[in-house]
Chains A and B, each alone.
Chain A
């Protein structure tokens, strides 16, 4: 089955840029979607189709996808961005929705 690999944690200071990666075999050929999950809340979509933002998501959130790595980029990180972030793809070979293991973003 298709596997997505994320770093367990990323820590940054407020105001700087955070990069959260999502690795998968030839992931650049797939559409990658990203979710933010704050403690005690359901996840929300922050990036879809690799780099598109749903309405209401700040421009500080962007995404890219190429080769074997997709990346969620958060510029000018704020305390309110502290959350778990998950990448997700649809694996057409198995008809499965696949999530990465999640990355905890800590704002120092």
Chain B
């Protein structure tokens, strides 16, 4: 059964870099069946897709964060990671790591989801 688990600091200072790791079990991140990505949800607000990485290493990022975000993968440890630079209070959110199913047209539905990690940006 595919499962994902986020890990990383729950508190980050303004202007620093937010780093989260997602450990995958039940499937290989080298699989071409999935994309792997991150979605965030500010407190009391909706879902915002951050970006995804494919087994080939190709990445996709949302336009609003593209200048500050990077997603990478470590196949030897079966995990992928998020780095978000120059954070502000507006980046405070629950961060979910997710798998994104793939069909012939490309990415389709999201799931399963990790349990989510609350990251607060504050000095």
Decide if B115 touches A97 in the complex (CB within 8 Å): no
Contacts A42-B96, A43-B113, A86-B46 given; indicate if A95 touches B60 (C-beta within 8 A).
yes
Decide if B48 touches A33 in the complex (CB within 8 Å): no
A49 contacts which chain B residues (CB < 8 A)?
A: 108-109
Q: Give 5 closest A-B pairs by Cβ, nearest first.
A: A97-B49, A33-B109, A42-B113, A102-B46, A48-B109
Q: What sequence of 0s and 1s flags, for each residue 84-123 of chain B, a beta carbon within 8 Å of any chain A beta carbon? A: 0000000000001000110001111111011110000000
Give bound CA distance, A94 to B52, whole Å: 13
Residues of A at the B interface (CB closer than 8 Å) are 1, 31, 33, 35, 42-45, 48-49, 54, 86, 88, 90, 92, 94-102
Question: Smallest Cβ distance from B33 to chain A, in angstroms?
Answer: 15
Q: Which residue of B lies closest to A100 (CB)?
A: B46
How would you classify the secondary structure of chain B's contact residues: helix, strand, loop or mixed? Answer: strand
Give bound CA distance, A31 to B105, whole Å: 10
Question: Smallest Cβ distance from A54 to chain B, in angstroms?
Answer: 8
Flag whether B32 is at the interface (Cβ < 8 A).
no
Q: Which residue of A lies closest to B46 (CB)?
A: A102
Decide if B46 touches A99 in the complex (CB within 8 Å): yes
B108 contacts which chain A residues (CB < 8 A)?
A: 31, 33, 48-49, 90
